[in-house]
Amino acid sequence: MTENEPSDSEIDAYATTWDPDREDLRWVPPGAALPALINLPTHTEAVQEANRLLMNTGFAISIRTPLYTKPSRANPVRTVRGAVLRCAQGRTYSSTGSNKRKQSSRMTACEWKGRMRWVEAEGASGASGWQFTSEDGRHNHPAAGVLALPQFRKRDEALLERIKGAKSNRDSAMKILRKERSAGANITRSDVSNELAKLRREELGGRTRIQALAEFLSTYSCDDSGNEDTKFWHKITQDDQGRARIIFFAHPRAFELIKCNPDVVEIDAMYKTNAFNMPLVHIVGITCRATTYDIAYAFVPNEAAETYLEVVQYLKELFDYLSVSPKCFLTDHDRSLKAGLSVIFLGIPQRRCIWHIYQNVQTEAVKAWDVRRVATAEEKDVIEKARLDFIQVWQSLVSCPTEDAFWALKEQIWESYAGFPALLQYLKAHQLPHYHEWAECICKFFPDFGQKATSRVEGAHRQLKLSLTSWKAGHIYDVVLDIHQLVLVQRNEHDGHLQLDEARHATDCLLLEFARLHRKVSHQGLRKLKEQLLLAKDERYDELEECSGAFSMKFGLPCKHTLHRQVNEPGGLVIDPKDVHQHWWYHPPHARGEEVQDERYILDPEKIRPKGRPQGSTTVTLPSTQVSQSLRGRQPQRQPREKTRNEHVQATQQTQQAEEASDDDIEPR
């Protein structure tokens, strides 16, 4: 504190009394002198530059009254020749008379006063510019921080461009603020929010946000070509009053992924994403790399059966537009959604999330074995153990390999837990009627590629919520723009990882049997196939169960029984890509409307044995040149050598060609 600076208590007293006549609280801060001359075109730019120079002092200035030249015949247009300056905190506070809002003010009626005027250069060495002078240099307030006064937080053009670019990337105000503050910019969150609001108004151009949304979904093209296959596939329905009711859309960058991997579809609704409290139906799929991608989205007014029926119908139209069809649906226990799927996608199996089933059964088990009814710790342990035993029995029921074992264990459960009628009634009413959607004895034949729970769509929910710039309070238009950026990021990441996988070999799958699969089948598919190959070659193969075809139907890969037969065939085993379901392919032919080609591989030529003495042998002299007549012509019989793998494969190909020729009534050559 300087000699003339008032103390904090005096400043607080002045702020309380608000008396402009307190001469003892006025002081001249050292180092806050105005710049002598600033050479800039306009007076506003000169004041901004002066505030930039005064930033470290904590005292800013503003224009109180601009001074103009008098028009004349020589100069009929008025120009600014100067201005009366005042302190940035020099205005007098006036109450609005409302106590509904908590108000504050930085105005202290500071009587600091100064002037600025334009001076022309005098002589060759003179300089023209805006000259600043101080008439009363006393302030009645302490120095302010750089973020307290808006004069210190002016946004230059470079900062505005960065904010505009960040808005295009759907960055939130806090993210922009953290980035700019780390770079040294003197801005607050309100400054960033104000600039974003200004840019948003310019973007809308007088339209409402829902109108802008409809236009964005109709006109956006991912490659700016304007072709229909590069635009959103969307449907917007309205109610009787013209309000948007269902907004269904799929991003054009997801079309290729849908064509490649439409097999497994997970559907679930998420909440608290927009200001209208409309549930967002999230539809995702699984790629060949066992990663999740977004298929489509739908904002719905409710979760009634009629609403879900419309959403599922739009999903069917999307699949028909892309000429694909799913093979399995995975959902939670929502009856309205499952009813719509059963009507629109007739015959396509549906799986219930096994995690949701376990949680629901666990909840009922906690009610049946209530530890709150006992007092001692020993009794609680007994109840907990009984409940865990029931959960293990229930898990065994879910995992039964055959229907006979399933129903036999079900009868045992009904006999063992007859003393819990409420629990058995719940299982009978809510779980057993839908056992064909969660029992392993039935679901092991579903082409779900190993997906049993909706954890993937739950993870997609979380990723989407993290991407929202205005969580829970944003307009649907803003949410769609956030989804748009999210899909672009997802697709870029997928393409990058896909190219990396194509350029690499799965080092744990470098087997001769997989020679034709590398760079065509994903690493995840190769590893799953390797598990079956090891079982096929296992010494205890005879102890395995008989083939039911479940593995091949579920994963689209040859099972251990098929591989075992091929391994023991004379031609050996080299797995052909056509034996692998296209779900595991990096670039499946069906995505391009092509069929899998039966490739004929050219093998290396057979190595010819050289004539003459084998290399490295030596000459041996016999003790007698006369050989018994009985031994003449009795050469030792040479044992036939085993064929090489190439010879086996070549012989197999020749046999297959001969069989194909005979089937076509063509004489083989």
Q: What DSSP string describes 445-464?
A: TS--TT--STHHHHHHHHHH
Average of per-residue pLDDT across 396-407: 94
DSSP class of 541: G
Cα 390 from Cα 256, distance rounded (Å): 46
Burial (0-12, 13-18, 19+ Cβ within 10 Å), 243:
exposed
Please report the sign of the dihedral spanned by the C-alpha atoms of residue 560, residue 566, residue 572, residue 576: negative
Please report the sign of the dihedral spanned by the C-alpha atoms of residue 252, residue 257, residue 259, residue 261: negative
Evaluate if residue 660 carries a pLDDT over 70.
no
10-32 per-position pLDDT tens digit: 555 544 444 555 666 677 787 78
Minimal CA–CA distance to 520: which of 464, 601, 439? Answer: 601
Cα 589 from Cα 585, distance rounded (Å): 9
Angle at 275 between CA 271 and CA 276, to 5 degrees: 75
122-155 per-position pLDDT tens digit: 766 678 899 999 998 888 888 888 888 888 888 7
Higher pLDDT, 546 or 1: 546
Cα 135 from Cα 46, distance rounded (Å): 18
Distance set, CA 495 to CA 5, 271, 586, 646 (Å): 65, 30, 10, 36
pTM: 0.71
Pairing of strands 37-38, 61-68: unpaired
CB 109 within 8 A of CB 87: no
Q: Which two tokens stand for residue 99?
A: 């106590």
Please give the backbone phi and psi of residue 128, each rounded to the nearest 5 degrees, phi first.
Answer: -100, 155
Please tell me the least confidently modeled range out of 292-306, 563-577, 618-632: 618-632
- Structure confidence at residue 658 (pLDDT): 59
- Structure confidence at residue 200 (pLDDT): 80
Average of per-residue pLDDT across 263-279: 94
Average of per-residue pLDDT across 356-377: 90
- Structure confidence at residue 350 (pLDDT): 95
Cα 292 from Cα 298, distance rounded (Å): 18
Tell me the pLDDT band of 628, cut-offs 50, 70 and 90. very low
Please tell me the least confidently modeled range out of 30-34, 164-168, 494-498: 164-168
| Average pLDDT score, the chain | 84
289-342 per-position pLDDT tens digit: 999 999 999 999 999 999 999 999 999 999 999 999 999 999 998 999 999 999
Cα 556 from Cα 386, distance rounded (Å): 40
Residues, the chain: 669
Average of per-residue pLDDT across 25-46: 85
Evaluate if residue 635 carries a pLDDT over 80.
no
Q: Please name every residue paired with 280 in a beta bridge, in sequence order, or none if there are none.
A: 270, 299
Evaluate if residue 420 carries a pLDDT over 70.
yes
- Structure confidence at residue 629 (pLDDT): 47
CB 213 within 8 A of CB 476: yes
The type of residue at 627 is V
Cα 105 from Cα 61, distance rounded (Å): 17
Cα 237 from Cα 247, distance rounded (Å): 7
> Could you report how far apart the first and last alpha carbons of the chain are, in Å?
109
Q: Please name every residue paired with 318 in a beta bridge, in sequence order, or none if there are none.
A: none
Please tell me the least confidently modeled range out of 209-223, 490-504, 538-552: 538-552
Evaluate if residue 614 carries a pLDDT over 70.
no
In the chain, what is the greatest distance between 2 CA atoms, to the nearest angstrom? 147
> Beta-carbon neighbour count of residue 585 at 10 Å?
21
Q: Which two tokens stand for residue 295?
A: 């298929």
Minimal CA–CA distance to 42: which of 114, 160, 129, 150? Answer: 129
Burial (0-12, 13-18, 19+ Cβ within 10 Å), 107:
middle
Cα 351 from Cα 354, distance rounded (Å): 8
Alpha helices by DSSP H, listed for 104-224, are 157-168, 173-182, 189-204, 209-219
Q: Which two tokens stand for residue 369?
A: 């074995």
Cα 42 from Cα 63, distance rounded (Å): 12
Minimal CA–CA distance to 296: which of 273, 280, 278, 276? Answer: 280
Higher pLDDT, 551 or 191: 551
Minimal CA–CA distance to 310: which of 264, 357, 245? Answer: 245
Please give the backbone phi and psi of residue 371, each rounded to the nearest 5 degrees, phi first.
Answer: -75, -10
Please tell me the least confidently modeled range out of 24-38, 368-382, 518-532: 24-38
Evaluate if residue 220 carries a pLDDT over 50.
yes
- Structure confidence at residue 640 (pLDDT): 53
Angle at 20 between CA 19 and CA 26, to 5 degrees: 110
Secondary-structure breakdown of the chain: helix, strand, coil percentages, each rounded to the nearest 5: 45, 10, 45
Average of per-residue pLDDT across 474-503: 92
